[in-house]
């Protein structure tokens, strides 16, 4: 198998591309992991799911109906199921299958394609399609479907809001921006029914990863042409994924049925999937009432389910890497004073603060959560923000705030959001008051206002999180804190040495050497207190005992459907309730 | 009478919050989160391990400050406008009455929320927002009183004796118009308290860590099924206060009502 190596310029290009889409990044891909996986494991097609493993005495349920949602999942009526046009349509992702897919370790593996090759520099990619998979109307899924779908997304007439994901394709951007009008100039071409050739704007080693992302899902041409925007209604839709849309009771629920034309249909055990649309306010009530089999959990329900012997074992943590931290704005008093920032870093009693999150947070001493590339367990780093109230107070010596006096008015700003963000912020307020006598007022801003003021670096003190887009330090440092970023920079703090480490990390090939650069970057940032790490995010779900087959990643954690990992349903099976 | 007792109690609590509260309202105890009522914490602890009773006692202070402060602004704006409008009459009356009508046309809570999001959360801003929207009723009341009283004989008498306009307004008209204003204020206080609670409930009122009943209900309601006390006690406090002020308002109105005496 010939794949071109990925250069760091390409990774940067990807980061840039992602950045231009704004919201899309987080949900996008775990680029580096995907890429590493490709070289490590190659592109061997494997069965779509593992066979059910039954314990002695256990029987597969006769009724293979699975219901899931709630706690934040599918809380809004989907705008459509047309991922090809709008990847944030909130529909059921399992209806469509891309050329590639992400596995439970967030690595890209072949799906509708069975072989992927590229020219030597990685600027032309050839996907060889598997011939045994069909649309739910029985027609074959061919390379022409993908050619047409991707061009549809890029066509300015489609007005796809996130078309920029495909701008790596040659002339994709020009076509989407009406600089050229001939779709034949766009660099995606079906050489025949089974061979898709994609010519890119330049070397892009990460393209197969892109091909696994939501943005690269296909649409069914005949249906689109016949029904227009109504083509994803249950009566009209034709799908190529493991499931089809049997019914869509608007604002109420979606009912999916196994797609018998899907190539892996024989490995799919579930027969029917019901996705009710449940507002987050309902909590786990539908789960308690046995109306759903799998749900995401909010703070209040987690404790209750964990505390109940009957449900404690149904609860599990799932990966959702993110970091909560404080941004003291270095352009605004009192945080223009390094001693004050250091005092803040040492005044945060993380072990205690996270208790208010009731399980949804772990104490953080750096950007990257444990278990991810670049995670630091260095005592030197830990020392930089170690909780020490005496040390914190002593930092204020010689400043106008010595002894915790004379603080100006300090407003701590955060974005309005769920997931127990506010109690955490209030706990931070409490420890700052207790240990530095620093009074702060907590201001919860509407998301749009928050983002606007954040990017203007207009906020004095910020409580904020970063959800990891892809497990590479480049994402955690460069995309977040790089001082030369022109758009979407969250903090006024910059540091030339820090930036140099990030650039070096980006431009270095050797993994160990790279990580060393990022470790130094973290040390510089914490020494200069550009940010104060507080907590790492974790999330929880609960599954009824009769739900089986939830995949585990290499760390042994159960992985459930998200925007990256879409392949949960084909793996699931139900056993007889006892 | 009951209303008066409860309201007096409220005022007492608000004034002596520092003495009455068993704990500081900011004192957290991360080892004892969301505890149900106990001997040590009579109403339990909240999601930061703070004593709920103490926070409610301080919340009473906030509520009373808002109720009285906002009403002060309401009176300061509403009474002069109403008085001028009614006393001067003519074109000024026309303009002011139309202004009052326009203000009346705004949905009150919506307007307050709009003002709050423009001004930002905070106690003073709540005064301003409630004051700016609440003065219309009192202005109207005052104007009606003016119109009625200025035709009375004793006013004519004062005029005949050569009293100037300001003197008549200040010495004769306003004192005689006080009764309905006082009644309106008594009813306005719980309304202001409730508006503050509503604002804090949706998160545009008082900023943490300052406790406010509305905010406590708002945060507690997420945990209603697990930690009922977080939501229930502040809710009771709001309800009882509303009721007490309404009783008090009724009482005041009856006391001033000549027909009942």
Cβ-Cβ contacts under 8 Å for A142 (sequence gap 6 or more): A129, A190, A193, A194
Q: Say if residues A217 and A146 touch (Cβ distance below 8 Å).
A: no
Q: What is the pLDDT of residues A371-422, one digit of tens each?
A: 677 889 889 999 999 999 999 999 999 999 999 999 999 999 999 876 678 8
Q: Closest to B208 (Cβ–Cβ): which among A283, A358, A426?
A: A426
Mutation target vs B (from A417, A422, A431, A440; most B CBs, 10 A cutoff): A422
Q: Which helix (H) or strand (E) holds A124?
A: strand A124-129
Asked if the C-beta of B251 comes within 8 angstroms of chain A's C-beta atoms, the answer is no
Q: Do B226 and A427 touch (CB under 8 A)?
A: no
Write down the pTM of the prediction: 0.71
User: pLDDT value at position A293?
Assistant: 96
User: pLDDT value at position A563?
Assistant: 62
Q: Do A353 and B30 touch (CB under 8 A)?
A: yes
User: Cis before residue A408, ω within 30 degrees of 0?
Assistant: no
What was the ipTM of the complex prediction? 0.74
Mean pLDDT of B77-103: 89
Q: Closest to A423 (Cβ–Cβ): which among B47, B120, B122?
A: B47
Residue A212 CB: number of other CB atoms within 10 A?
A: 28
Q: Which of residues 443-462 of A touch B (CB under 8 A)?
A: 443-444, 446
Write the DSSP symbol of residue A313: G
Residue A349 with chain B: CB contacts under 8 Å: 30
Instruction: Tell me the three-class secondary structure of A486-509, residue by residue.
Output: CCCCCCCCCCHHHHHHHHHHHHCC
Report residues of chain A scoring pLDDT below 50.
1-5, 20-45
Cβ-Cβ contacts under 8 Å for A422 (sequence gap 6 or more): A414, A442, A444, B208, B219
Residue whose entry in the numeric block shows the structure tokens 């010939």: A2
Mutation target vs B (from A307, A430, A439; most B CBs, 10 A cutoff): A430
User: pLDDT value at position A204?
Assistant: 67
First to last CA, chain B: 17
* Of A425, A180, A223, A442, the residue nearest A324 (C-alpha): A425
Mean of the per-residue pLDDT values of chain B: 86
CA distances from B222 to A130, A282, A429, B30, B121 (A): 49, 10, 21, 19, 22
Residues A113 and A150: their CA atoms lie apart, in Å, by 15
Instruction: Tell me the three-class secondary structure of B220-244, residue by residue.
Output: HHHHCCCCCHHHHHHHHHHHHHHHH
Burial class (CB in 10 A: 0-12, 13-18, 19+), A263: buried
User: pLDDT value at position A23?
Assistant: 36
* Of A518, B217, B230, the residue nearest B206 (C-alpha): B217
Considering only the C-alpha atoms of chain B, give the largest distance between any 2 of them, rounded to a whole number of Å.
77
CA of B129 vs chain A CAs: smallest distance (Å) = 17
CA of B47 vs chain A CAs: smallest distance (Å) = 6
User: pLDDT value at position A34?
Assistant: 46
Mutation target vs A (from B28, B117, B119, B209; most A CBs, 10 A cutoff): B28
The most confident of the ranges A5-19, A126-140, B27-41, B178-192 is A126-140
Q: What is the pLDDT of residues B110-169, one digit of tens each?
A: 888 888 888 888 888 888 888 888 888 889 988 988 888 888 888 888 888 877 778 888
Degrees, nearest 5: CA angle A545-A549-A552: 110
Residues A219 and A454: their CA atoms lie apart, in Å, by 38
Is the pLDDT assigned to residue B219 strictly greater than 90?
no
Is the pLDDT assigned to residue B261 strictly greater than 60?
no
Residues A324 and B242: their CA atoms lie apart, in Å, by 40
* Of B47, B57, B62, the residue nearest B25 (C-alpha): B57
The secondary structure of A402-446 as a DSSP string is TTT-----EEEEEE--STTHHHHHHHHHHHHHHHH---EEEEEE-
CA-derived radius of gyration, chain A: 25
Cβ-Cβ contacts under 8 Å for A228 (sequence gap 6 or more): none
User: pLDDT value at position A27?
Assistant: 40
User: pLDDT value at position A194?
Assistant: 95
Q: Closest to A426 (Cβ–Cβ): which among B48, B117, B222?
A: B48
Asked if the C-beta of A153 comes within 8 angstroms of chain B's C-beta atoms, the answer is no
* Of B68, B84, B95, B194, the residue nearest B139 (C-alpha): B84
Is the pLDDT assigned to residue B48 strictly greater than 90?
no
Query: Tokens for A270?
Result: 């579930």
Q: Say if residues A235 and A165 touch (Cβ distance below 8 Å).
A: no
């Amino acid at each position: 198998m010939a794949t071109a190596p990925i250069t760091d310029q390409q990774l940067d290009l990807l980061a840039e591309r992602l950045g231009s889409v704004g919201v899309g990044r987080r949900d996008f891909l775990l680029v580096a992991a995907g890429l590493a996986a490709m070289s490590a494991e190659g592109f061997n097609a494997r069965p779509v799911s593992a066979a059910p493993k039954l314990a002695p005495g256990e029987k597969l349920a006769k009724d293979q109906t699975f219901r899931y949602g709630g706690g934040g999942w599918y809380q809004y009526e989907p705008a459509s199921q047309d991922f090809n046009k709008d990847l944030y349509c909130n529909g059921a992702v399992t209806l469509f299958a891309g050329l590639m897919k992400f596995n439970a370790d967030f690595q890209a593996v072949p799906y509708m394609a069975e072989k992927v090759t590229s020219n030597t520099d990685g600027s032309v990619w050839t996907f060889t399609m598997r011939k045994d998979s069909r649309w739910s109307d029985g027609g074959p899924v061919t390379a022409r479907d993908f050619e047409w779908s991707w061009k549809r997304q890029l066509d300015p007439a489609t007005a796809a809001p996130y078309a920029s994901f495909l701008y790596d394709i040659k002339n994709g951007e020009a076509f989407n921006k009406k600089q050229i009008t001939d779709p034949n100039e766009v660099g995606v071409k079906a050489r025949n029914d089974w061979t898709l050739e994609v010519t890119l704007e330049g070397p892009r080693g990460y393209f197969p990863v892109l091909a696994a992302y939501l943005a690269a899902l296909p649409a069914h041409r005949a249906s689109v042409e016949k029904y227009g925007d109504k083509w994803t209604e249950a009566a009209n839709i034709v799908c190529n994924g493991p499931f089809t849309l049997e019914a869509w009771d608007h604002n109420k629920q979606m009912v999916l049925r196994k797609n018998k034309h899907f190539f892996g249909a024989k490995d799919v055990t579930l027969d029917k999937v019901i996705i009710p649309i449940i507002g987050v306010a309902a909590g786990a009530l539908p789960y308690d009432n046995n109306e759903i089999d799998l749900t995401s959990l909010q703070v209040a329900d987690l404790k209750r389910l964990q505390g109940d012997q009957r449900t404690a074992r149904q609860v599990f943590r799932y990966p959702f890497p993110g970091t909560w931290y404080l941004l003291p704005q270095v352009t605004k008093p009192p945080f223009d004073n390094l001693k004050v920032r250091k005092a803040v870093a040492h005044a945060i009693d993380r072990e205690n603060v996270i208790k208010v999150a009731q399980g949804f947070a772990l104490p953080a001493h750096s950007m990257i959560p444990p278990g991810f590339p670049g995670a630091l367990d260095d005592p030197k780093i830990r020392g930089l923000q170690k909780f020490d109230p005496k040390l914190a107070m002593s930092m204020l010596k010689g400043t106008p705030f010595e002894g915790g006096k004379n603080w100006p008015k300090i407003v701590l700003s955060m974005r309005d959001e769920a997931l127990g963000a506010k109690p955490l912020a209030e706990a931070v307020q409490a420890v700052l008051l207790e240990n530095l006598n620093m009074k702060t007022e907590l201001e919860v801003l509407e998301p749009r206002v928050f983002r606007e003021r954040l990017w203007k670096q207009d906020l004095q003190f910020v409580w904020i999180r970063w959800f990891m887009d892809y497990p590479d330090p480049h994402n955690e440092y460069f995309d977040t804190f790089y001082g030369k970023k022109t758009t979407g920079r969250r903090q006024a703090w910059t540091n030339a040495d820090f930036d140099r480490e990030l650039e070096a990390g980006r431009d270095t090939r050797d993994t160990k050497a790279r990580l060393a650069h990022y470790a130094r970057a973290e040390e510089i940032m914490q020494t200069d207190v550009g940010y104060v790490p507080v907590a790492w995010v974790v999330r929880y779900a609960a599954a009824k005992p009769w739900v089986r087959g939830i995949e585990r990643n290499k760390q042994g954690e159960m992985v459930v459907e998200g925007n990256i990992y879409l392949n949960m349903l084909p793996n699931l099976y139900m056993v007889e309730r006892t | 009478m009951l209303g008066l007792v409860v309201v007096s109690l409220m005022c007492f609590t608000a004034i002596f919050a520092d003495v009455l509260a068993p704990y500081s309202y900011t004192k957290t105890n991360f080892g004892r989160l969301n505890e149900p009522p106990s001997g040590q914490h009579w109403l339990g602890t909240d999601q930061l391990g703070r004593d709920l009773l103490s926070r409610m006692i301080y919340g009473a202070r906030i509520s009373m400050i808002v109720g009285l402060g906002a009403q002060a602004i309401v009176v300061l704006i509403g009474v002069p406008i109403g008085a001028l409008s009614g006393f001067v009459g003519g074109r000024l009356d026309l303009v002011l009455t139309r202004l009052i009508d326009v203000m009346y046309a705004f949905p009150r809570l919506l307007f307050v929320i709009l003002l709050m999001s423009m001004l930002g959360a905070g106690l003073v801003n709540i005064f301003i927002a409630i004051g700016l929207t609440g003065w219309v009723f009192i202005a109207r009341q005052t104007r009606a009183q003016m119109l009625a009283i200025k035709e009375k004989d004793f006013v004519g008498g004062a005029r005949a004796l050569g009293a100037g306009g300001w003197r008549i307004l200040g010495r004769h008209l306003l004192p005689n118009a006080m009764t309905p204003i006082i009644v309106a204020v008594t009813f306005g206080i719980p309304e202001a308290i409730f508006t503050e609670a509503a604002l804090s409930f949706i998160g545009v009122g008082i900023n943490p860590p300052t406790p406010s009943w509305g905010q406590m209900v708002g945060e507690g309601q997420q945990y209603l099924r697990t930690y009922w006390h977080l939501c229930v006690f502040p809710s009771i406090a709001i309800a009882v206060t509303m009721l007490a002020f309404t009783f008090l308002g009724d009482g005041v109105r009856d006391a001033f009502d000549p027909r009942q005496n």
